[in-house]
Amino acid sequence: MRRMTLRDCGFGSSVQSLSGGGQQRDKNEQRRGSNREEIDVAARFLIEVPHEEATVACARAVEVFLRSGSHFLSHADWGCKDGEHKAWMVVEVDDKDEALRIVPPAFRPQTKIVQLNAFTFKDIEDILRYHER
């Protein structure tokens, strides 16, 4: 997990008011040594798991996912009825290795994992400004 501040999350000048403006934190929070301005944020990954098109092979792939008992696997989205024989999941974990470990071992070699991110207009303006120098 990576550590983010409220400022990183877009709260900017609200940080002081959300953190109590320097006032004393409650006793439990002080004891833990936590910082109300920081939160843990896991990375988000798209997991794409292809499988064979044959009807029985397709049904077996779905069965393996459903019988796994894994929340992620049993809630995967499938494209089979539209001819796209793949399962997709979006998960929040620490890294790609952890995302891959969610997938049953037999499917791991063909699995594709993509780290997801979002952009704001400001992010894009900064990127364009930097590269247009």
Inform me whether the pLDDT recorded for 117 exceeds 90.
Answer: yes
**Alpha helices, H only, 2-133:** 15-18, 27-32, 55-67, 71-74, 96-102, 121-131
Contact by Cβ (8 Å): 103, 49: yes
In the chain, where the domains are located: 2-41, 43-116
At residue 31, the 3 state secondary structure works out as helix
105: exposed, middle or buried (Cβ count in 10 Å: 0-12, 13-18, 19+): exposed
Q: What pLDDT does residue 76 have?
A: 97
Query: If you average pLDDT over residues 97-102, what whole number do you get?
Result: 96
Mean pLDDT of 113-129: 94
79 phi, psi to nearest 5 deg: -110, 10
Tell me the mean pLDDT in the region 60-66.
96
Express each pLDDT in 19-54 by its tens digit: 344 434 344 444 444 455 555 668 999 999 999 999
Residue 81's φ and ψ, nearest 5 degrees, are -65, -15
Provide the pLDDT confidence category of residue 16 given band limits of 50, 70 and 90: very low
- Percentage of the chain modeled with pLDDT above 70: 69
d(CA 66, CA 75): 8
Q: Does 43-116 carry CATH code 3.30.70?
A: yes
